[in-house]
């Protein structure tokens, strides 16, 4: 095959102005002319139609050359290898075959991989217009498809994988039968079979429908319908799955054609998270810090393989306002989307961003009103009727029992450091924490105050008080861990508010308890001012080092003995005191024989000098244990 010589088929008749290849007339043409033709087609018809025109041009050239070779040498499959040689002889570039596989007599599994070097299409495109965002060797892929299809006796599709016009080192390509490509080559098959370049009525109607639906999406946003309605409208346009993720990769809205598949959605979320993690250090982008690749591009593609070897492709459109990323709009790409569809997806992401801005503005007003209400409620002499009237307008009945919680967010790796949490706290409240709390106790209030979250939790009935108190801290802690990575919450409460004057004192108690925990360097603690009790008073009024020395003066012998002998005398003493110094109750709680308990307590008295029969000694021991629990190093 390499001995093939195109000169034998070429004939020059300059006196007649004729160049012929066998029986076909040829014309010498500058490659710049083809480059300008490509540019004119793109400007006049758009990228999709221009690509189809040039693809079909190359396809018919390839078919013509293949028929010429078949007429002179035969139509055996071996002559398919002359295609790359003719391609090179014509000055299109150099062809290198990397892998070629042929299966069966009818070549139903024909598969070739190779690359073009010195491609004139890629070279001219870069010289004239700079790097492209998509492969540009449209004539070459069409030529390879047309030439191979003649000898294979069936439709062969060549797809360009990388392109020097995009900045890659080579133009690599892959060729298979159209059946083996499946849906991945639908656009190429469409380009081959396309019969004319003018818009037909169906296309015009589809475009008009798209414009109408875009207007509908805009109207829905202006009417405040929300991102769910935008997702449903976009689904009507592109006829594919639409999923909207917020910046925490939760799903505020989606439109899944047919029954939603939770497994596929989880796989999509995992692949999106992996994709984003490759762009920035954090596993999930923080609010206002979108991953870098999506800053410069309006849309990108995410492709991954399912366990059943199905390849899924999703279009990702970041939902952004300025440099702030609210989330990501994803649309499943069953077949390659047209530019019109991509613009529609981009438009939908913009509308989502505007809707988020609208929600944020409304929330800012709501938080300001709540903050003003709390300011009056916790002031020294609030006007009862005035505050109650304002609270009722905001949906809160302060005459009912409430419990005040202060959520203080601590960074464990930066103990004692005050951090500016305004943005994070705002995102935390905006991320549906208000709805979470009101599912626990409808009519509760959530607001920001001095860099902390204040929750006025409504107690529905007196019997529900304990249940609500236990449920809220647990759910709030899980919420913080999920939404604000790197933070650990201290959740403290004040007294139960049953009368109007209780609110101020309950707030002051909870706030003071939060200050104490922060001052101690504690994090991820749930407590109340009542639990701190006398220890809070001592902490506020006494010298902290002296308090610690006082506690250690009594208990350090037990700490040292337990460390040296791997015993738990201090724990035994604490359990004994908690069970009101009852031997039977303590032995049951500790799973100890009562004689073993008596021996341990006697050893405690010997080491500490305490007389556990005296009330004063028992009080001093209990006080020392509680102080060490607050100050350390005793962990219980």
> Is residue 47 domain-shared with residue 142, that is, in the same domain?
yes
Q: What is the pLDDT of residues 157-212, one digit of tens each?
A: 899 999 999 999 889 999 888 888 877 777 777 777 765 545 554 555 555 555 66
> Is residue 351 domain-shared with residue 424, that is, in the same domain?
no
Residue 397 near residue 490 (C-beta atoms within 8 A): no
Residue 477 lies in a domain: yes
477, 499, 531 — which closes off a domain?
A: 531
Residue 529 near residue 521 (C-beta atoms within 8 A): no
| pLDDT score of 178 | 82
pTM score of the predicted model: 0.41
Residue 29 lies in a domain: yes
Q: What is the pLDDT of residues 59-109, one digit of tens each?
A: 999 998 888 888 877 777 777 878 888 888 888 888 898 888 765 455 567
Residue 450 lies in a domain: yes
293, 325, 357 — which closes off a domain?
A: 357
Which element (helix H / strand E) includes 13? strand 10-13
Residue 369 lies in a domain: no
What CATH number does the domain containing 35 carry? 3.30.1380.20
| pLDDT score of 286 | 40
Residue with tokens 């159209």: 178
In terms of pLDDT, which residue wins out, 489 or 366? 489
Residue 368 lies in a domain: no
Q: What is the pLDDT of residues 328-356, one digit of tens each?
A: 999 999 888 887 788 888 888 888 888 88
Residue 310 near residue 267 (C-beta atoms within 8 A): no
> Is residue 184 domain-shared with residue 36, that is, in the same domain?
yes
Please state the rounded mean pLDDT for residues 437-444.
76
Residue 636 lies in a domain: no
- Give the closest residue to 497 by CA, choosing from 405, 612, 590: 405
| pLDDT score of 437 | 73
Q: What is the pLDDT of residues 545-563, one digit of tens each?
A: 767 777 788 888 888 888 8
Positive or negative torsion for Cα 205, 211, 214, 218: negative
Residue with tokens 């006082």: 550
In terms of pLDDT, which residue wins out, 546 or 445? 445
Residue 112 CB partners (closer than 8 Å, separation 6+): 97, 99, 100, 101, 148, 174, 175, 176
Ramachandran region, residue 590 (left: φ > 0; alpha: ψ -120 to 50; beta: rest): alpha
Q: In what order do the strands lie in the sheet with 402-410?
A: 445-449, 452-458, 402-410, 488-497, 526-528
> Is residue 82 domain-shared with residue 158, that is, in the same domain?
yes
> Is residue 19 domain-shared with residue 158, that is, in the same domain?
yes
Structure tokens at 510: 């909870």
CA distance 402 to 505: 13
Residue 539 lies in a domain: no
**At CB < 8 A and 24+ separation, what contacts does 364-373 make?**
364/426, 367/426, 367/429, 367/447, 367/448, 369/394, 370/394, 370/445, 370/446, 370/447, 371/447, 371/448, 371/449, 373/445, 373/447
- Position 39 pLDDT exceeds 90: no
CA distance 552 to 60: 93
- Provide the number of structural domains found in the chain: 4
What CATH number does the domain containing 443 carry? 3.30.70.1230
Please state the rounded mean pLDDT for residues 401-423.
72
Q: What is the pLDDT of residues 598-609, one digit of tens each?
A: 998 999 898 888
Distances (CA, A) of 476 to 334, 423, 466, 489: 40, 18, 16, 8
161, 193, 225 — which closes off a domain?
A: 193
In terms of pLDDT, which residue wins out, 482 or 313? 313
Q: What is the pLDDT of residues 274-329, one digit of tens each?
A: 888 876 443 333 434 444 444 445 788 898 888 777 888 999 999 988 777 888 99
What CATH number does the domain containing 220 carry? 3.30.450.40
| pLDDT score of 244 | 92
The secondary structure of the chain in percent helix, strand, coil, rounded to multiples of 5, reads 55, 15, 30
CA distance 258 to 263: 14
> Is residue 519 domain-shared with residue 618, that is, in the same domain?
no
Residue 172 near residue 96 (C-beta atoms within 8 A): no
> Is residue 344 domain-shared with residue 215, that is, in the same domain?
yes
> Is residue 426 domain-shared with residue 509, that is, in the same domain?
yes
> Is residue 178 domain-shared with residue 223, that is, in the same domain?
no
- 367 pLDDT band, cuts 50/70/90, is low
Domain range for 581 is: 544-631
Structure tokens at 560: 């040292």
Q: What is the pLDDT of residues 204-247, one digit of tens each?
A: 555 555 566 566 666 666 666 678 888 888 888 888 999 999 88
Residue 140 lies in a domain: yes
CA distance 158 to 145: 5
Structure tokens at 551: 């506690």
> Is residue 320 domain-shared with residue 220, that is, in the same domain?
yes
> Is residue 151 domain-shared with residue 252, that is, in the same domain?
no
> Is residue 178 domain-shared with residue 41, that is, in the same domain?
yes
What CATH number does the domain containing 580 carry? 1.10.10.2840
Residue 437 near residue 444 (C-beta atoms within 8 A): yes
The distance of Cα 348 from the centroid of its chain, to the nearest Å, equals 18
Does the bond joining 633 to the residue before it have cis omega, within 30 degrees of 0? yes
């Amino acid at each position: 095959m390499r001995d093939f010589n195109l000169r034998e088929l070429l004939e020059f008749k300059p006196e007649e102005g004729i160049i012929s290849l066998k029986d076909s007339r040829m014309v010498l043409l500058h490659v710049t002319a083809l480059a300008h033709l490509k540019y004119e087609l793109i400007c006049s018809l758009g990228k999709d139609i221009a690509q189809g025109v040039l693809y079909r041009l190359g396809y018919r050239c390839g078919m013509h050359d293949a028929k010429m070779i078949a007429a002179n040498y035969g139509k055996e499959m071996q002559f398919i290898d002359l295609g790359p040689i003719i391609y090179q002889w014509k000055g299109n570039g150099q062809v290198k075959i990397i892998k070629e596989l042929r299966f069966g007599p009818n070549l139903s599994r024909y598969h070739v991989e190779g690359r073009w070097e010195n491609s004139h299409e890629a070279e001219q495109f870069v010289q004239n217009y700079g790097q492209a965002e998509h492969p540009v060797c449209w004539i070459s892929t069409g030529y390879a498809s047309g030439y191979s299809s003649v000898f294979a006796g069936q439709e062969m599709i060549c797809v360009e994988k990388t392109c020097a016009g995009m900045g890659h080192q080579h133009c690599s390509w892959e060729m298979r039968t159209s059946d083996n490509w499946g849906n991945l080559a639908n656009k190429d098959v469409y380009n081959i079979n396309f019969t004319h370049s003018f818009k037909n009525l169906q296309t015009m109607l589809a475009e008009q429908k798209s414009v109408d639906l875009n207007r509908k999406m805009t109207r829905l946003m202006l009417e405040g319908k929300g991102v769910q309605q935008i997702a449903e409208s976009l689904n009507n346009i592109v006829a594919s799955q639409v999923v909207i993720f917020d910046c925490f990769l939760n799903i505020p809205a989606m439109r899944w054609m047919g029954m939603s598949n939770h497994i596929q959605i989880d796989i999509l979320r995992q692949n999106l998270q992996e994709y984003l993690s490759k762009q920035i250090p954090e596993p999930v982008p923080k609010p206002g810090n979108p991953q870098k690749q999506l800053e410069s591009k309006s849309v990108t593609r995410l492709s991954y393989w399912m366990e059943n070897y199905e390849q899924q492709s999703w279009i990702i459109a970041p939902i952004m306002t300025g440099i702030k990323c609210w989330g990501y709009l994803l649309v499943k790409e069953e077949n390659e989307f047209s530019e019109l569809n991509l613009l529609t997806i981009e438009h939908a992401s913009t509308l989502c961003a505007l809707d988020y801005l609208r929600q944020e503005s409304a929330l800012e007003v709501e938080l300001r009103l709540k903050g003003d209400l709390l300011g009056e409620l916790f002031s020294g002499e609030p006007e009862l009727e005035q505050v109650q009237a304002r609270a009722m307008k905001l949906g809160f009945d302060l005459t009912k029992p409430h419990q005040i919680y202060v959520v203080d967010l601590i960074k464990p790796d930066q103990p004692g450091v005050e951090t500016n949490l305004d943005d994070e706290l705002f995102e935390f409240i905006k991320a549906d924490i208000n709805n979470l709390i009101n599912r626990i106790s409808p009519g509760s209030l959530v607001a920001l105050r001095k860099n902390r979250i204040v929750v006025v939790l409504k107690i529905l009935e007196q019997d529900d008080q304990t249940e609500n108190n236990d449920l809220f801290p647990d759910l709030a802690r899980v919420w913080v861990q999920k939404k604000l990575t790197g933070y650990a919450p201290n959740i403290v409460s004040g007294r139960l508010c049953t009368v109007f004057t209780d609110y101020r004192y309950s707030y002051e108690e909870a706030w003071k308890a939060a200050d104490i925990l922060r001052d101690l360097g504690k994090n991820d603690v749930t407590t109340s001012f009542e639990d701190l009790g006398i220890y809070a008073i001592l902490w506020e009024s006494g010298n902290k080092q002296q308090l610690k020395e006082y506690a250690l003066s009594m208990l350090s012998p037990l700490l040292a003995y337990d460390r040296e002998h791997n015993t738990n005398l201090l724990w035994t003493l604490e359990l004994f005191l908690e069970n009101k110094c009852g031997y039977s109750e303590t032995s049951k709680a500790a799973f100890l024989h009562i004689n073993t308990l008596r021996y341990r307590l006697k050893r405690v008295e010997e080491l500490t000098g305490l007389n556990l029969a005296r009330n004063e000694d028992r009080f001093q021991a209990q006080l020392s244990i509680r102080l060490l629990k607050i100050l350390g190093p005793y962990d219980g």
